Structure 1
């Protein structure tokens, strides 16, 4: 079995839990995302030595190479796509679980606390919340930059377009093909995943492979594995700012984790990261190193080990379960 579910995405209903236990018992091994998924499958009854990690991987080399190519000609790429000089990046579907209203709220709080900031928010994606998110920006007094049609054609002045200028605001780029995503990663200062829950979050892998600091919800399935505890290595910045911002427990080697229900906490992370270039650089370097542990090669190696474990188990099968052991009781 290959799966990325964990306790944070599981439904608590007892009949469903019993059904999952029954399903898992039919498999001889599993390849899962990381430690949260490993614990979840163990809780469902699978032996720990039958559970392997590394299921969630992207082509790290592709994103790293594309990011470097873009950065070589950064000025031209910014002009072509009308990207601001400095920006935080969000990339994904505009659906409720992504918690994007909280991100926009946090960005508003960040600008309130840092009125001289020149850091924008770029949002790449589309979905049912398209209208709601733009309306929220207007309500909060955030400048909206509608860029859904760039670079295919120059954006027409539309309902949501407000006065142009250098004032920080929210840039909506709409849905993009995956081949375009490295451009947005390469020129960003940090990537944000604010999800209320997330099985994993492969966009975090992509951002890390592109050399970015990552700011990730504590409820995302990747947070425990991809954001390693500790301060960035070879960084000479002081931890005083981290303590003052109340973020000592949230900092990681390559970014920050945060409570997705607290826009205030996220705004403090944005404020700290935007103000310390050395911190961003150190975290971006750490991201590149950490994500290599979750490579396609690692996926292939652990998939093979999982298959071997299943074969070995079949060679020496465990005693059959007692009759009725896997039955689901009536509601």
Structure 2
């Protein structure tokens, strides 16, 4: 099976997955990119600073950058203006096109080209009912857009239960949706967390943290949608047994709200309990996850939240809002599934404070939640992604035709 994959630019979370798919003996994968944005240093508006990823983005799989008009390191709705994919699909003898995203014109043009060439088409995207605010007019426009898009897509790859429900609500038949869960490189994160555990005390000393105070961790962009301020207010209001343990709040990340949050900490006289540690790259994060007793992601309109996967790979309990899509698959309790953390209503600071007090008051329960989190996320992995992709392509397990 000759499979073409189209995505805007190399993405740090996707690179190891593409390398894993390339190992399948009966899938000849080639990734096509429109932009070189993420190669080398680039300004990330969410972090409000320049970022250079510390993971290899192009290793282990075939890839090409499409010819374009304009600057190749741009990335916008119409930038760069890529072309030539139809010619490559035809000359390369590709049998299927997998497209990540649908919001840009080149996504639709690519699906049109693949349909004209008779290729099987697959679509994967992060959208859910909670991933953005949609008024009545937007909902009508979306319904009209998808009425035109559906004939161009043979199969849909669902990243989680809310994403699957989103496709179903748009009229996609159940049998056309295949699970391809949003996962991180579990093996890498677990290995890095294991190495961090061996030097936990030394890491605490490097950060200047007292040895006997439990850590609450936030690691994400400091922007309004992430609602780090809700976590700060909940933390400042802790009481009871949780407060008696004198927890520390570590805020890892950067962004437009950092100065505002720092001012609030100073106003509250809480500089001894709240530390701002700035942006940290992927390879650095497992040490923070491993150090924490609980990780918190209070976001609204979060399409997934891969930091939840990362924290769980370190065996850390997670508290997340009900607008973090990952929480619905990895945290929310279901019949027969052990608890891995706590889900609270987004924006409800009192509920978030209660969740923190519940976890921090009982270290043994926090540790049990962490163990169960590790077990849960270990099954939410690249192997499940490969299995879902193979099923969507009509391939049996490990190269056996279905």
TM-score class normalised by the smaller sequence: 0.7 to 0.9
1:108-151 CA-partner distances (Å, limit 9, x unpaired):
111588542321100100011111111122233322xxxxxxxx
On the 8 A contact 1:34/1:225 being kept in 2, the answer is yes
When the two structures are superposed, what TM-score results if normalisation uses the length of structure 2?
0.63
Question: Which residue is equivalent to 1:196?
Answer: 300
Asked if 1:69 corresponds to 2:224, the answer is no
Range that drifts further, 181-190 or 77-86: 77-86
Q: SS at the partner of 2:391?
A: helix
Asked if 1:289 corresponds to 2:375, the answer is yes
Question: Which residue is equivalent to 1:148?
Answer: none
1:144-167 CA-partner distances (Å, limit 9, x unpaired):
xxxxxxxxxxxxxxxxxxxxxxx5
Could you tell me how far apart the structure 2 residues matched to 1:278 and 1:257 are? 19
Range that drifts further, 293-302 or 189-198: 293-302
The structure 2 residue matched to 1:132, chosen from 255, 260, 277, is: 260
Q: Shift in Å at residue 41 of structure 1?
A: 0.3
Question: Which residue is equivalent to 1:90?
Answer: 218
Cα 1:52–1:111 change in 2 (3 A) is: same
Asked if 1:32 corresponds to 2:144, the answer is no
Question: Which residue is equivalent to 1:170?
Answer: 274
Cα 1:213–1:42 change in 2 (3 A) is: same
Cα 1:131–1:111 change in 2 (3 A) is: farther
Question: Which residue is equivalent to 2:251?
Answer: 123
Q: Shift in Å at residue 17 of structure 1?
A: 3.2
Q: Shift in Å at residue 280 of structure 1?
A: 0.9
On the 8 A contact 2:241/2:361 being kept in 1, the answer is no
Question: Which residue is equivalent to 1:57?
Answer: 183
Range that drifts further, 33-42 or 223-232: 223-232
Could you tell me how far apart the structure 2 residues matched to 1:128 and 1:23 are? 36
On the 8 A contact 1:254/1:287 being kept in 2, the answer is yes
Question: Which residue is equivalent to 2:235?
Answer: 107
Could you tell me how far apart the structure 2 residues matched to 1:35 and 1:209 are? 20
5+ residue gaps, structure 1, are 144-166, 234-251, 310-331
1:241-285 CA-partner distances (Å, limit 9, x unpaired):
xxxxxxxxxxx7010000121111111111111111111111111
Q: Structure 1 or 2: larger strand share?
A: 2
Could you tell me how far apart the structure 2 residues matched to 1:141 and 1:24 are? 56
When the two structures are superposed, what TM-score results if normalisation uses the length of structure 1?
0.76
Deviation beyond 3 Å, 4+ runs, structure 1: 111-115, 230-233
Q: Shift in Å at residue 172 of structure 1?
A: 0.5
5+ residue gaps, structure 2, are 1-122, 396-402
RMSD over aligned CA atoms reads: 2.1
